[in-house]
Amino acid sequence: MMGRRVTVAVLMLSAAMAGGCACGGTLLENPIAMGPPPPDLHNPVYLPQGPQAYGQLFEMVLSVVDDYFDIQYSNRYDGRIVTLPRIAPGIGQPWKRGSYDLHERVLATFQSLRQHAEVVIEPAPMGGYNVYVTVYKEIEDLPKPATSTGGIAAFRSADPTLERVDEVVGPGAISTHWAPFGRDTSLEQVILHRIQNWDRPCVR
């Protein structure tokens, strides 16, 4: 009886991993995608919504972006959403959203990266709205490795025998050495797919 239950559980797990979800395709939340990825969407993505639906559309877009970033600024009157930077998760943090491309996740494992996003909603010429999603990447650029002790001279006879080093952990310890490092187009595509397919639960 126990062997039968184990067999059924293994079959169900295999089906879930192969199928992904009821509506088919690869799960967008899976950084190590099994099967072909969904086709890239045009950025901006077009949403055929009427003028009366703009308020609901803006709140929907804001809700999607809020799942990935902390919001710094949002204004429905100019259609802009700006986020705060967040550290890109590496392989050791598979539960965190972001870095959906395996290459990006490996890179974030060995190098400090952060991301921030800007979303612009504009009326389309033929009606509806165009939603632009841009996710910027930044790389930490330090003059030397943080808390590095390399290069200290071996002869320290003149130094005191006891040296106290106080490391302050707080806002003052946050590095400001960040340099532009291109865009994270894979995360842009994840957000665009969620915006376009808001009514489909398998991509939410």
Domain spans, the chain: 45-142+176-204
Average pLDDT taken over every residue of the chain: 76
At the topology level, CATH places domain 45-142+176-204 in Alpha-D-Glucose-1,6-Bisphosphate; Chain A, domain 4 (3.30.530)
Measured CA to CA, the distance from residue 35 to residue 26 in angstroms comes to 6
Q: In this prediction, what percent of the chain has a pLDDT beyond 70?
A: 63
What is the Cα 201 distance to its own chain's centre? 19
Q: Are 89 and 102 in contact (CB under 8 A)?
A: no
Q: Give the three-state DSSP class for 128.
A: coil
Q: pLDDT tens across 137-159, in order?
A: 999 987 766 655 555 555 555 55
Contacts of 58 (CB under 8 A, 6+ apart): 76, 79, 121
Q: Note the pTM of the prediction, 2 decimals.
A: 0.69
Q: Which residue has the higher pLDDT, 8 or 167?
A: 167
Q: Reply yes or no on whether the pLDDT at 32 is more than 60.
A: no
